[in-house]
Chain A
Amino acid sequence: MDASQAQNRTYLGMPLARPRVAFFELSSCEGCQLQIVNNEANLLDFLSLVTVVNFREAMTEKSDAYDIAFVEGSVTRADEIERLAVIRKNAKVLVAFGSCACFGGVTQLKNRFKDPAWVKKQVYGDRSIQTNDTARPLEDFVSVDLRIYGCPVKKEEVEKIVTHVVLGRSIVQPKYPVCMECKENENTCLFDLGEPCLGPVTRGGCDSWCPNSRFGCWGCRGPAEDANVGQLQVIMKQYGFTEETLLDRLECFGGFAKDAEQLRTNMKLSPRRHEGTK
């Protein structure tokens, strides 16, 4: 957006900087960026707080002079590592935007195979294709200043965080698990309805988005602080769910990668049990 349109904003009489923000995407579905555009009601207010200087999905002009870079997606190719390094250099604040950027997201599901050649072959046959063996979160390559969790990110949360950044407030994300907000929303617990849920160990802040739809949480926001995954494992068993069900959820978005790895090892489960049957 044209910088000349920027008026000087203040809050309680204090002048506020109007940060120049840029959006970038690595390997992703670009859904998190789209959530910005999906925010029809407050888009104009959003645009009066910041100056968008780079948003390939929505605009042609681009600039490398930005304060805040929102980077969506995981790192899966050498050129992305280079792009990310440049972004890091240009940005004062680098935001890992969404679960892919924070944890690797669904894309890191390929990591479990431990056999990159097989993975490539499954899609591209014998053709050579340039790709890294694993999909990784941003912080494996650069330092990250702020994380916005979620697959997809929640627009209310993005708004709040952006407002806080502009105001110069510190960003405090919920440390409690999803259950907290689920109860606040007066949902019937999915375990009572016979459905599995990762809410007891997943970081809140999504307003129990999935359980509100009677759909158990898959842990897209990664672990809550002090998450008791071991106890959840006991509970899942008590409620008659298989370890595979728990594993599916733990490994879906990468936030629980360590727990998933551990569980997979304990289960002696091969990720590609079907090769033989094929």
Chain B
Amino acid sequence: MHSVANFDIHYRQLLDAAGMPTGEWPGFGRDPAQLLAMYRMMTLCRVFDTKAINLQRTGRLGTYAPCTGQEATHVGVGAAMQADDVLFPVYREYGTQLWRGVTLAGIYTYWNGDERGTWFDGPRQDFPWCVPIASQMPHAAGAAMAFKVRGQARCAVAYIGDGGTSQGAFYEALNAAGAQTLPLVAVVVNNGWAISVPVAEQTAARTLAQKAIAAGIAGIQVDGNDIIAVRAVMEEALARARNGGGPTLVEALTYRLSDHTTADDATRYRPAGELEAAWQREPLLRTRHYLQAHGHWSDTQEAALRADCQAQVDAAVSAYQALPAASTDSMFEHLFAQLPHELQAQQASARHYAAHKG
């Protein structure tokens, strides 16, 4: 009996929970402007998220999936990507989307049950939110295949949750991307929970990064609350993919500091104390500590930033609430490039009842 293959899974952290650097930082880490841009975006996410929950509680938004606690992963990934890369989100990675140009009002519009929220003026090719868990993974592999067919130095970046790693589509897509050496980087956001199921019940795998081994691709674990490490790991993975080095699976260890969605009540299943402990590792505070310790940030600036974020969010709320209701027709408008003749009578019926509604 001899060994025919062996594997190591590495973990990367560059900024610890106290805000202390823990390793060699890449170039962007030495540029305060870049650090501040990322910190501002994380803060915007936090403010946006808080408002969204409030909007839902007061009946002005549908069920909403919060992002609090995961901002470093989301913004770090966004900052590492190039504009012409393509993002395949799940449903709560607003930090990446906002970084890439999706609007606050668009996100609210989406969660308010309106397809128009998926129209992205910014990243025109980015995919919209993907509700059927893991089904976005092959889309990303397909986009990566298109880049390969056309010889473009672009990457597809796909998100997936820890729960999502139980779905076949996740493995299938990684395996296919590995077999065809596609420029794909998949980010498992391991936030500890899939609604009420903790990750230890989702798999016997000690890490989710090791799922890369099944596909014969690179896998790495990163502190997902550490925006420096997330961005660094992503930049390396993206560069490798762009250079024909194939896909990478990045596991970002973070925590869902909120309920699963506003329709969920995590107190039903989450052990006491876990949430409080997780708040000690959250991403914003450690970044602020670092920035303040190095003289790049002050309490005054913080207050101004909060106010600015609030103003942006308030403007977005006004914008989505001012959007006139979609017409009933719109159900038929984008079904096909050209609506088949047979469906015109149905469209007329829908229009008729819309007019006589209420």
Q: State yes or no: do A and B come from one complex.
A: no
Chain A residues within 8 Å of B, Cβ to Cβ? none
Chain B residues within 8 Å of A, Cβ to Cβ? none
